[in-house]
Amino acid sequence: MTTKEVLVVTGCGGMGIAVARRLGAGRSVVLADYNSKMLSQVGEMLHNEGHDITTVESDVSSQESVRNLVSIAASKGEIKVIVHTAGVSPVQATPKQIVDVDVMGTAYVIDEFVEVVGPGAVLICIASMAGTLMPMATDIEHLLATTPTAELANLEILNPATMDSGSAYSIAKRANQVRVQVSAMQWGAKGARIASISPGIISTPMGQQELEGASGDAMRQMIEASATKRIGTPDDIANAVAWLADPATSFVTGIDLLVDGGVVAALRSMGVR
Ligand SMILES: NC(=O)c1ccc[n+]([C@@H]2O[C@H](COP(=O)([O-])OP(=O)(O)OC[C@H]3O[C@@H](n4cnc5c(N)ncnc54)[C@H](O)[C@@H]3O)[C@@H](O)[C@H]2O)c1
């Protein structure tokens, strides 16, 4: 009996569900989230749609929890695609939670999965256009990219006391982009690839919560000013994930793919750096 390829999806919110649907058919899908109620509801929904689903309650801000997820996923077969969507946004979380989940969680996923992947595997981490728009000195970016995970949270730039949730999120997402880039070497040594996607404003539960929050008006103005003048859908992101996960992109690694409907393009055309 041939074993199926394994698809791991962290986060079973808007993007995680779209990715599982887009890439899950014919694969063994390992779905992870720390919200056990949502995890079992989404797992059941995808199972009823015909997918082969294993749910794993996992908190990505805990290295031990990520390690447990990796070992369960590896026991299912050859891990081919990992899509890390689990994360928290400024309206949902304190600066400390954003550092713990968005920065450390992504670092743990990168570090733990590289131990078990083989040739042809790919990890796609979801960053954000907030990271693309975050001005940052090159030496700080280098620290965020290369500081060993065990010391990462000690960096002054990640001190939660020095920032609000909005700036914590932008710094976290820039950290994701640069850490993914530098990790391409380690993943390449395994014959595997890694990339990030930076979504613009996407209509998921998180996106809708942000639109209802203090930044909602500014976000609507960004959509209106953008090249496409529309909000993104979870499928827009799943399509980009599918492209990056395809063996046809075997020459693409260490990149960040901006999928924002042209919001950053519009801001740059207005002189915003
Ligand atoms: N929606 C947007 O507009 C937007 C824009 C840019 C970037 N992003 C990023 O895209 C990713 C996916 O967001 P989404 O829109 O699908 O959000 P979502 O809120 O719909 O889903 C996120 C999921 O992550 C889970 N999660 C949160 N913290 C976790 C933890 N510590 N361990 C395990 N699971 C955890 C949540 O329970 C939730 O199910 C996030 O990293 C987010 O920052 C979203």
- Residue 127 in domain: yes
Establish whether 80 is a catalytic residue: no
165 lines ligand 1 (CB under 6 A): no
59 lines ligand 1 (CB under 6 A): yes
- Residue 209 in domain: no
pLDDT band at 3 (very low <50, low <70, confident <90, very high): confident
Average predicted confidence (pLDDT) for the chain: 97
Give the model's pLDDT for residue 129: 98
Give the model's pLDDT for residue 242: 98
Mean predicted confidence (pLDDT) in 126-140:
97
Q: Going by C-beta distance under 8 Å and a sequence separation of 6 or more, which residues neighbour residue 135?
A: 273
- Residue 92 in domain: yes
**CATH number of the CATH domain containing 50:** 3.40.50.720
202 lines ligand 1 (CB under 6 A): yes
- Nearest-angstrom CA–CA distance, 217 and 120: 43
pLDDT tens digits for range 29-78: 999 999 999 999 999 999 999 999 999 999 999 999 999 999 999 999 99
- Residue 45 in domain: yes
Q: What is the model's pTM? A: 0.98
- Residue 269 in domain: no
- Nearest-angstrom CA–CA distance, 111 and 23: 23
- What domain count does the chain have? 1
- Residue 85 in domain: yes
pLDDT tens digits for range 144-153: 999 999 999 9
Among 205, 138, 133, which residue's Cα sits nearest to residue 173?
133
Find out whether 19 and 237 touch, Cβ atoms under 8 Å.
yes
For residue 29, report the phi and psi dihedrals to the nearest 5 degrees: -100, 120
Give the model's pLDDT for residue 2: 65
Give me ligand 1 centre to Cα 235, in Å: 15
Residue nearest to atom 32 of ligand 1 (CA): 59
Give the model's pLDDT for residue 272: 87
Establish whether 173 is a catalytic residue: yes
- Residue 155 in domain: yes
Specify the amino acid at residue 51.
Answer: H
Give me ligand 1 centre to Cα 207, in Å: 9
In terms of residue numbers, what domain contains 130? Answer: 5-201+233-260
pLDDT tens digits for range 193-208: 999 999 999 999 999 9
- Residue 66 in domain: yes
Find out whether 175 and 128 touch, Cβ atoms under 8 Å.
no
